Amino acid sequence: MGQDSSWARTVARAPRVRISVYHVAYVIIKSAISPRPGNWILERSLDGKQYSPWQYYAVSDRACRDTYGIAPTPGRPRYTHDTEVICTSYFSRLTPFEGGEVHTSLVNGRPGAAGPSEALQEFTAARYIRLRFQRLLSLDGELEGRRPDPAVARIDAQLAGRKYFYSLKDISVGGRCVCHGHADSCEVDTGQQRCSCQHNTCGPQCDRCCAMYNQLPWRPGTFLDAAECQPCECHGHATQCRYDPQTAKDALSLNTRGEYVGGGVCVNCQHSTEGVNCDRCIAGYYRPQRH
């Protein structure tokens, strides 16, 4: 993106950004030739229709209460739990008049940032991001609920004859693909993410065990537990198996270590075999004895 690139919108329009990564870690916006937005909401969606707020921004702490009905978080944004949605006026100073930035971290500073947290993973999951601007940042907003600033007269003079509008010249979104803890990298060049799956998992998002690795049910991996999919024992007579909880409960499935642990059931046994593990010949067939 060139330095001269920018977007400008009237009050009635709100820009929307579509992204390819799904676990969003941060969003940074940078104003072009106007101050930063005043009241606005950073929102997320998985389907592009239903949106949920990630964070509220207001021209003042009082505006957090009056506009959004949320108690403000004074000072620099901070979070008490992984899915907390706060309202902040930290970025509401009128200056700089151009090129001001708003940094929003959706992971750092939250309790689950250092370890596995399903709540935080769900909270940061998104396919669409929307910036819903609702109020311009103006001198009135700068003064709202605050003590008089000695520099106000000077600012007022600088703003004389100046029009108010939204303008952005850069939106940065950082994140990672949703691979359920089973990949270290993913490909997004084609416009559709595909994880480089590990732990015997398959699928664009490593969301299932591969065909012959269903001795145990699929689970998401974490920093402490890779949750590797385990192979089925089909004695070389099948190329696919499925997990069956009742088979596991009845201890009828033999694993590759010779233990009746898990619920892998071989599918479409070949070579005239049948059974949970393709472990016997079908009627009318027998296995020649070895001499």
Mean pLDDT by groups of 10 residues along the chain of 291 residues:
45 45 84 88 93 95 94 92 94 83 90 77 90 80 49 50 76 83 76 84 94 96 85 97 98 96 97 96 82 54
- Tell me the pLDDT tens digit for each residue of 183-221: 888 776 655 678 899 999 999 889 999 999 999 999 988
The three-state secondary structure class of 187 is strand
Q: Give dist(CA 219, CA 117) in Å, integer.
A: 14
User: β-strand 87-88 against 52-57: which pairing, if any?
Assistant: parallel
Give the closest residue to 57 by CA, choosing from 100, 103, 124: 103
What is the number of other CB atoms lying within 10 angstroms of the CB of residue 108? 10
Half-sphere exposure of 14 (CA within 13 A, CB side): 15
- Tell me the pLDDT tens digit for each residue of 135-167: 887 665 444 445 545 544 455 545 545 567 888
- Domains for the chain: give ranges and CATH numbers: 7-176 (2.60.120.260)
Q: Is 276 exposed, middle or buried (0-12, 13-18, 19+ CB in 10 A)?
A: buried
Give the closest residue to 264 by CA, choosing from 288, 246, 237, 286: 246
The three-state secondary structure class of 68 is helix
Task: Check residue 192 and give its pLDDT.
Answer: 66
Considering all CA atoms of the chain, what is the largest pairwise distance in Å, rounded to the nearest integer?
A: 104
Task: Check residue 191 and give its pLDDT.
Answer: 59
Q: Is 216 exposed, middle or buried (0-12, 13-18, 19+ CB in 10 A)?
A: buried
